[in-house]
Structure 1
Amino acid sequence: MTLLTKLCLATFCSATILIVTILPAEYGIDATGLGKKLGLLALSKSSNTTSFKHELSFNIGNYDPKAERINESVQGLIHLEEVPFQSQVIDIEIEDLGEVEYKFIMPSDTSFVYSWEVLNSRGEGVYYDFHGHPSSADAKHYPDKFEMAYARGEGTSQNGSFTSPFSGYHGFYFMNIEEGPIIVRLVISGYWQDHQEMYRAIEGKVIKNVKF
């Protein structure tokens, strides 16, 4: 069989499949009548009558190109912030038998992503307590000595993301549970108004305690 003969045979087979099966099933064109006998015409009718009833809806207001701020957006996709985006790498030195509390002042419903690690760990690392509490000015709106815990435990590292449930001070308490001094490196990116070390103690003796 020559190459030309093979090409002609392949073309003939393809054309036959197109006319006998594909055109009746997809488009309802049945030139030979075999599509009806084989039940292929029913397939074209069912595909043509398919309808999609779901409609997408968005909580977007009228777009004003002159507006300085768009107050409505697709829920869950974007959250506009009043404070600028920031990134910090903070090395927290903790003495033997030392304790440190480091906080970020944040409006409600603002977020950061973070990672902390004991750089020179030789054992269990730290006891940590990630929590938040309101400022003294806002404390009257909350129960007495109110604070909210987010995570606590022991370890040498942690990674996560956080969204503040209320305005106030949110951050980390670290207690050195190793022998000898350590350094906790905190890498953080997101939105906050200010940050600082709030508390430090060595062997239970308070060295620093910032009132909030």
Structure 2
Amino acid sequence: MQHTLSNKALFKSTIIALVIAGIVLISFILPAEYNIDPTGIGAKLGLTALANPGGSATISSNQSDELNTENQQETDIIEVIVPAGRGVEYKFAMAQFKKMEYQWQTDGAALFFDLHGEPEGDTTGYYESYAIATLTEMKGSFTTPFTGVHGWYWKNTSDKPVVVKLTVGGEYSIVGLKK
């Protein structure tokens, strides 16, 4: 015996599917992709940070002995603007076991940050954090445990944009702002 759906049951199933799709669109897709969050759920889940509109960065390069004196490689000075109430990620592509020396400071406001890396080719969303805190500045170095993109996520909880001056040296290529 073959089971068939009546027109009424098919119509009801279609309406339920459309309602679920609408809820997913409003609650998850719009906040993550377009920073439109009519319900506030996207902000609570951290999805609005993924949209990242308004974040910007400028880069200047120079030879410097201040960082990375062993390899005498180029040092990059990067200015990242973290918009009010938002978060931005700034990344570098690095091979396994490569070292980066860094120093960053804000123009005064403390920012939550997560220095982390994401393995190349990973599609699960896995990342490894190297340092997490809320500070106005930090100086240090790290050696990459795997090939992939590595860098900072800064979150600005204030009501004014915060400028981060990031100075880096090492074996990397700049990916830049990640959306």
Cα deviation, 1:31-61, whole Å, max 9, x if unaligned, reads xxxxxxxxxxxxxxxxxxxxxxxxxxxxxxx
1:46-57 to 2 correspondence within 5 Å?
Answer: none
The match for 2:115 is: 130
The match for 2:53 is: none
Instruction: Work out the percentage of aligned pairs sharing the same amino acid.
Output: 28
Going by fraction, where is strand more abundant, 1 or 2?
2
The amino acid that maps onto 2:76 is Q
- Aligned-pair CA distance for 1:161: 0.5
Q: Which consecutive unaligned segments of at least 5 residues does structure 1 have?
A: 1-80, 199-208
The match for 1:181 is: 161
Residue 139 of structure 1 aligns to a residue in which SS? coil
The match for 1:159 is: 139
TM-score for both structures, normalised by structure 2:
0.57
**C-alpha separation in 1, matches of 2:114 and 2:84:** 18
**C-alpha separation in 1, matches of 2:157 and 2:130:** 21
Shifted more, 98-107 versus 176-185: the winner is 176-185
Contact 1:86–1:191 (8 Å) recurs in 2? no
Shifted more, 177-186 versus 101-110: the winner is 177-186
The match for 1:95 is: 83
The match for 2:61 is: none
The amino acid that maps onto 1:134 is P
Total equivalences in the alignment: 110
- Aligned-pair CA distance for 1:115: 0.5
**C-alpha separation in 1, matches of 2:74 and 2:126:** 28
The match for 1:193 is: 173
**C-alpha separation in 2, matches of 1:174 and 1:193:** 20
The amino acid that maps onto 1:92 is V
The match for 1:105 is: 93
